Amino acid sequence: MLCVAQSPGQTKLATTNALSTSATHQPIPRVGITQELQRLIDLGKVAVVYDSDPEFVKASRGWADFHVQIRTSFKYDVTKSRARGRWNVKVAVNKLEPKIELTHLIRLPSTFKSPDVWSSRVMRHEFDHIAVSLDPRAMLLLRHLLEHLPVIERTLEPKETPSNAVLNKLIDEEVVKRRQAVVKLMRQNNQRLDKIGAHGAQAIPHRAAFFASLYTKENLAELKFPFFEQTLDLLETAEYQQAELPFLARDPAVD
């Protein structure tokens, strides 16, 4: 039986909404902003604010985070049978169209206010984090996994019926697993950035090679990416291997 389903729900991949208008957030005026930072702001839909939250100010450090929103529409074929009072279903998604939006938020403590804030080491370091999550290979991975869902086979609970709502839920669960895996990978690569660069205190050796190494086959294998096998064909494509990386050429730790 052919079923067509539309999934209007949103999937959020970060706890911080990059477009939030918190009462403690004050947009940083873009006076003195460099062209390269403006380019990253435009590419990554980056909101950059001073944050006056007392606990955040006390920590005295910058913070960058990303937020991913997914909307999906899909079509699927379903085969179902009943045995021992329970439904067995096999769902083959034959067309899933994801709409993925990636946004970012950079926060600096309000005590960091300065006319030279855009050229400061802490600001430029936070944009290194933006470069890690804005790396186009991350969203290529996510899109590939969503567009190539495997056949879903489930035995429903005794009182469950294979309604559209139940089948949509099964598909959504697979979407969530894949977005969680990609988000974890993005966060692990951000942690690697902080470890190698000591949170912006020291220059990253072989800077270009470091950013190029992220999201590679070796990187995914080392970090035990759970959908590694399903991405091997993508990793070999020219689009993936030749993706333009958005990192800043000059290291924030170099004056």
Spans of all domains in the chain = 2-241
Q: Which two tokens stand for residue 222?
A: 């080392």
The answer on pLDDT for 1 being more than 60 is no
Q: Residue 11 — very low, low, confident or very high, per pLDDT cuts 50/70/90?
A: very low
The answer on pLDDT for 104 being more than 70 is yes
Q: Which two tokens stand for residue 103?
A: 């946004």
- Cβ-contact 80, 51 below 8 angstroms: no
**What rounded mean pLDDT belongs to the chain?**
91
- Cβ-contact 94, 88 below 8 angstroms: no
Return the pLDDT at 17: 44
The answer on pLDDT for 36 being more than 80 is yes
Q: What would the mean pLDDT of 106-135 be, rounded to a whole number?
A: 97
- pTM (two decimals): 0.90
Lowest mean pLDDT among 2-16, 33-47, 105-119, 233-247: 2-16
Cα torsion for 144, 240, 195, 210, to the nearest 10°? Answer: 170
Please give the Cα distance from 53 to 57 (Å, whole number): 6
User: For residue range 196-235, what is the model confidence (pLDDT) as tens digits?
Assistant: 999 999 999 999 999 999 999 999 999 999 999 999 999 9
Instruction: Report which of 115, 109, 117, 127 is spatially closest to residue 51, judged by C-alpha positions.
Output: 109
Please give the Cα distance from 162 to 5 (Å, whole number): 13
